[in-house]
Amino acid sequence: MLIEIINDLHWLELFHTLKCMEIQRTPDQKAIASGRLRREEDAVRERTRAEILSAVDEAEESLARGAGRSITEQSMRDLAKTVKQRGRVRLRAKGFYASH
């Protein structure tokens, strides 16, 4: 009898704890529950879209501050030349590349 009472008290305590717990839904779950989105895949796509738009906004703000750099055919050639030079230096240092 005592064990049954202890078990009952345990279950009552557990029930009370669960009843008092507040479950927080993720934004994706809220969007699906509200009917705004139908599937989890839609929520992932929407979140990815929002992240891309945010990155574009940051890039545009950076350009507006003058922090960006202009990309042209010549700047790409210069970059490729610089990368090749640095790579050759590293390979020579490791003994993998003989200079001409």
DSSP structural state of residue 40: H
Tokens found for residue 51:
């992240």
pLDDT above 60 for 6: no
Residue percentage of the chain with pLDDT more than 90: 39
Residue in this structure with the two tokens 């009952």, named with its chain if needed = 8
Q: Which of 20-34, 43-57, 85-99 has the lowest mean pLDDT?
A: 20-34
Q: What's the distance, CA 29 to chain centroid?
A: 18
The pTM for the full model equals 0.46
